[in-house]
Amino acid sequence: MIWDLSHLVESVDSTLIQRELESMVTEAEKVRDKYHGKIVGLDAKGVLELLEMKDAHTLKFEGVNTYCRLMYSADSTDDVAKQLNDAVRRASMRVGQALAFINIELGKLLAEDPSLVTDPVLAEYKHYLERILRRVPHMLSETEERLIIVKDKNGINAWQMLQSDWLSVRTFDIEIEGEIKTLPYGEIIGLYESPDRDLRKRANQIVYEGLGKDEIIWASAIRAVCEDHLQMSKMRKYQTPMIQSLIGNDVDQQTIESLMNTIEKNVGLYQRYLRLKAKVMNLDKLANYDLIAPLPNAPEMDYSWREARKEVVDAYMEFDDETGGWVDEMFEKRHIDGEVRKGKESGAFCADWLAGKSAYILQSFNGKMGDVYTQAHELGHAVHAYLGSRAQKPSNYEIGSCIAETGSIFGELLLTERLLSKAKTKEEKQAILANILDEFGMTAFQVSARVFFEQSMYDAIERGEFLDGEAAAKLWVEARDKIYGDSVDWLDVMRWEWTMKPHYYMANYRFYNYPYVFAQLFVFALYQLYKEQGESFVPKLKRLLAAGSSKSPRELGAELGFDITDETFWEKGMKQAEEFIDMLEETL
What residues make contact with Zn ion under the rule CB under 5 A? 408
Closest by CA to 65, choosing from 3, 22, 128, 1, is: 22
In the complex with Zn ion, the residue whose CB is nearer, 270 or 410, is 410
Question: φ and ψ at 431, to 5 degrees?
Answer: -65, -40
For residue 381, the minimal CB distance to Zn ion (Å) is: 6
- Minimum CB separation of residue 521 from Zn ion in Å reads 16
Measured from the CB atom, the residue of 20 and 378 that comes closer to Zn ion is: 378
Sequential DSSP letters for 225-276: HHHHHHHHHHHTT-SSTTHHHHHHTT--HHHHHHHHHHHHHTHHHHHHHHHH
Instruction: Give the nearer residue to Zn ion in terms of CB position, either 271 or 408.
Output: 408
What are the DSSP calls for 321-367, one per residue? Answer: HHHHHHHHHHHHTT-EE----TTPPSS-EEEEETTTTEEEEE----S
What's the closest the beta carbon of residue 50 comes to Zn ion, in angstroms? 32
Nearer to Zn ion, 107 or 388 (CB): 388
Nearer to Zn ion, 226 or 348 (CB): 348
Q: Which is nearer to Zn ion, 399 or 432 (CB)?
A: 399
Residue closest to 366 by CA, chosen among 377, 358, 356, 375: 375
Give the nearest distance from C-beta 163 to Zn ion in angstroms. Answer: 25
Q: How far is the CB of 190 from Zn ion (least distance, A)?
A: 22
What 3-state DSSP class applies to 183? strand
Least distance to Zn ion, CB of residue 492, Å: 35
Determine the length of the chain: 588
CB of 519 to Zn ion, least distance (A): 9
Task: Name the 3-class secondary structure at 182.
Answer: strand
**Do 249 and 515 meet the contact criterion of CB atoms below 8 Å apart?**
yes
204 or 408: CB nearest Zn ion:
408
Please report, for residues 33, 98, 108, 126, the alpha-carbon distance to residue 42 in angstroms, rounded to integers and kept in the order given: 15, 19, 11, 16
Measured between its terminal Cα atoms, the distance across the chain in Å is 39
Q: Which helix (H) or strand (E) holds 582?
A: helix 567-586
CB of residue 404 to Zn ion, shortest distance in Å: 7
Nearer to Zn ion, 128 or 440 (CB): 440
Name the residue nearer to Zn ion (CB basis): 202 or 335.
335
Question: How many other CB atoms are found less than 10 A from the CB of residue 51?
Answer: 21
Least distance in angstroms from the C-beta of 349 to Zn ion: 8
**Nearest in space to 399 (alpha carbons), one of 515, 569, 572:** 515
| CA nearest neighbour of 445 among 270, 232, 222, 186 | 270
Shortest Å, Cβ 407 to Zn ion:
9
The C-alpha atoms of residue 572 and residue 534 are separated, in whole angstroms, by 15
Point out the residue whose Cβ comes nearest to Zn ion. 408
Nearer to Zn ion, 105 or 371 (CB): 371
Cβ-contact 192, 294 below 8 angstroms: no
Q: Distance between CA 475 and CA 464 in Å, rounded?
A: 15
